[in-house]
Structure 1
Amino acid sequence: MDDTVRNIDEDIEDPNLYFMGIAKSLDLQFESSKREWGLPRQWGGRAARPQRPGALRLRPPLSGHMSAPQITPANIAENTRDVPSQELHHDNQTPIWRCGLRNVCVVALWLPLGSLLFCFVTASIFQQDDIHETHCRVYNIIPSISAITGISPQRYLWRICVALHLGPRFLIGSLYHTYHTQRSNLITNLEHRTLAKKLTEACYWLNLVEVCALTGVTYISNRENYPVHEKIFIIFMMSSLLHMWCRAKVGSMGNMGDRPLKGNRTVWILFFISVASTIGLVVFFLRHRLLCRPMSFSWFSLCEYIIACANMAFHATVVLDFPNHQIQVAPFLLNNQKQD
């Protein structure tokens, strides 16, 4: 008996675990022992004590001899349930936040479009005299975008929506810059690859100029400072057209057999619509400014609305090029960090 107790002390730390393993292996039929130990049903017990997460579950020995259960790190890992919070703590690659790129682009599109429609409807109903006033004082039925977004209180809503619209615009510009850079590196022809890289850089900087010009046109209205507003509007028009052309051109470049981007055809169509509308805008502006012809400013405003809608649609083609992509926020892993 003394030798048995001595072996128990040497083999395992807790002798009670040893005797519990012996009782389970012999399948004792004493009801008092079952209620006391709370053996599970598969071992013949009536009821099992609930186990908390992380508790160790003992298994009966497979052989018939009376030996202490082998408690090793492998058995502990096998029989231990991880707490969900621990799983989340050790998973360093789980994204903290994610959102569909399509949803971001749709919201970014509707911010200026919805506010523009609201300004047009409310200004046409309640402030007709203010929005139709021109220096020639001729008949006019369609107000310009600067007129409906430069009066109060419409200008506050327009400025807020444009401010919220600028963030995704910077994000989309960086996205296309990275994508076109990777696509250009795969072009085998050296001359075409060099041209594609130059167009990629031009798209990136033209997008920045366009966004900055849009900000200036929005926050410097024609009523506050018309000369500055007019010059910034010209910069916006030129950068927008050049940006469309560069995007359409670089999107169609590639190796023999490579397909262009899905939205590239739409970009070309929007580019030609914008060019035609810009020509009409210049012609009708000169007719209004120099000749003061009736309805000239209305045609000018119509061309301006077409250009604005084409520009919004141009930036919304990202949903055609990247329909199933997501924006994720995940922990940053260094390249030299050891992976588990």
Structure 2
Amino acid sequence: MSSVQFKTKEETKQIMSSRAHVSMRHFLLFAYSLPCFALFSCVGLSLLKDFEKSTRTHCNVFNFLPSISASIGDCEPQRYIWRLCFALDSVPRYAIAFLQLRRLLNRHHIALQEIYPLVQITNSAIHILELTFLLLLTYISSNEIKWIHECSFIGFMICSLVHMLLTVLIDYFWPRTINYRVNDQEKLTRGKRLKWFLVNIMSFFISLYFYFRHNDYCEPNIYSMYCLFEYFVVLTNIAYHAVVMDEWDQNAGQIQFFY
């Protein structure tokens, strides 16, 4: 007759409090590489298997690149790849936004501490709105509810540009305490942010130029130029936010997930 062994309370608690460790750098790499994978895979698949469908426009002129909306809204499996990637990416991006806000609020060398938390919380709220509009863009295509898709795109671009601009302005112009000197790491990260912000806003306005030129004149390949700079807008937005990988201490430790 076999005997049943009962575990002690300490052993049971130890099993129930098992945890998984993920390094901060791997967590950040996952969060910022996933949307890049979604973009390249969806556009690549559209070019390979849905070229005519994804590059077709209202005036039926030749184009060599598909828009992101056409790739993820009209074509399969691109639609599901895009939505799955952003479903997996949404929680890490919200978590990063929260962790970054908490880190910024703990900067003790910042002057004007009476209003600094309010400014940073407002900027973080704008970033949260940016991520939320991006989710709406992801899950509501222009073929489903066009006005929501368009409003989400406008909201995403406004919040993205405002958040980037406010962050750059705080980095460069917010006063520090007299005894604090900007170190080389801070100079490097704020320089990268400024670079990606400038490239992003230039790409956005160039894409608008090609978009309206296409609608006005319906020239061949002009819509493809709009699509190309649309890709640049997305990639430079990711690159801007990924600067946090340089800003955070690479030895910051690990994120613990309990199960």
Shorter-chain TM-score: which interval? 0.7 to 0.9
Structure 2 residue aligned with 1:178: 102
1:157 corresponds to which residue?
81
* TM superposition shift of 1:87: 10
Give the conservation status (yes or no) of the 8 Å contact 1:142–1:301. yes
**Structure 2 residue aligned with 1:124, among 47, 55, 77?**
47
Cα distance, 1:103 vs structure 2? 0.2
2:246 corresponds to which residue?
320
Moved more, 216-225 or 251-260: 251-260
**Separation (CA, whole Å) in 1 of partners of 2:20 and 2:215:** 53
- Aligned partner letter, 2:177: N
Judging changes above 3 Å, is the alpha-carbon distance between structure 1 residues 126 and 169 closer, same or farther for their aligned structure 2 residues? same
Counterpart Cα distance in 2 of 1:249 and 1:229? 30
Alignment size in residue pairs: 240
CA distance in structure 2 between the partners assigned to 1:130 and 1:326 by the alignment: 47
The answer on whether the counterparts of 2:22 and 2:256 sit within 8 Å (CA) in structure 1 is no
User: Residues 40-90 of structure 1, C-alpha deviation per residue, up to 9 Å, x if partnerless?
Assistant: xxxxxxxxxxxxxxxxxxxxxxxxxxxxxxxxxxxxxxxxxxxxx979979
CA distance in 2, matches of 1:314, 1:99: 23
What TM-score do you get using the length of structure 2 for normalisation? 0.84
Change (3 A) 1:262 1:176: farther
Deviation at 1:318, TM superposition (A): 1.6
CA separation in 2, counterparts of 1:96 and 1:230? 42
Letter in 1 for 2:143: R
Alpha carbons 1:98, 1:327 under 8 Å: kept: yes
Query: Which residue matches 1:233?
Result: 153
Q: CA deviation at 1:328?
A: 3.5
Counterpart position of 2:196:
270
Q: 1:166 — aligned with what?
A: 90
Could you say which residue in structure 2 is the equivalent of 1:72? none
The one-letter code of the counterpart of 1:186 is: H
Partner of 1:220: 140
Structure 1 SS opposite 2:231:
helix
Residues 52-67 of structure 1: pairs in structure 2 closer than 5 A:
none
Partner of 2:120: 200
* CA distances 1:285-315 after superposition (whole Å, capped 9, x unpaired): 1111222232221111111100100111122
1:309 maps to a residue whose letter is L
Q: Alpha-carbon deviation of 1:226?
A: 2.6
Deviations 1:157-177 (A, max 9, x none): 110000111111111111111
In 2, the alpha carbon distance for the partners of 1:195 and 1:169 equals 26
Compare CA radii of gyration and give the structure with the larger one: 1
RMSD across aligned positions (CA) = 2.5
Cα–Cα, structure 1 residues 198 and 295, in superposed 2: closer, same or farther, change >3 Å?
A: farther
- Conserved in 1, the CA contact under 8 Å of 2:203 and 2:233? yes
Separation (CA, whole Å) in 2 of partners of 1:105 and 1:162? 15
The letter for the 2-side match of 1:131 is S
**Structure-2 change in CA distance of 1:194 and 1:140 (3 Å):** farther
Matched residue type, 2:148 = V
Please give the TM-score of this superposition, normalised by the length of structure 1: 0.65
Tell me if structure 1 keeps the 8 A contact 2:203–2:229: yes
| Cα distance in 1 for residues equivalent to 2:188 and 2:242 | 12
CA distance in structure 2 between the aligned counterparts of 1:231 and 1:97, rounded to whole angstroms: 40
Code of the residue aligned with 2:209 in structure 1: it is: V
TM-fit CA distance, 1:270: 0.5
Q: CA deviation at 1:250?
A: 2.5
CA distance change for structure 1 residues 262 and 199 in 2, over 3 Å: closer, same or farther? farther
Q: Does 1:255 align with 2:177?
A: yes
**In 1: Cα distance, 2:151 partner to 2:43 partner:** 24
Deviation at 1:108, TM superposition (A): 1.3
Q: Where do residues 134-153 of structure 1 align in structure 2 (5 Å cutoff)?
A: 134-150=57-73, 151-153=75-77
Q: Which amino acid aligns with 1:128?
A: F
Q: Which of 1 and 2 has higher RCO (CA within 8 Å, sep 6+)?
A: 2
- Native 8 Å contact 1:261 1:321 kept in 2: no
The within-5 A match list for 1:50-129 is: 96-129=19-52
Distance 2:18 2:158 in 1: 40
Separation in structure 1 between the aligned mates of residue 257 and residue 130 of structure 2, nearest angstrom: 31
Q: Say if 2:46 and 2:66, in contact at 8 Å, map to a contact too.
A: no
**Code of the aligned partner of 1:208:** I
In the aligned structure 2, how far is the partner of 1:174 from the partner of 1:242? 18
Contact 1:181 1:200 in 2 (8 A): yes
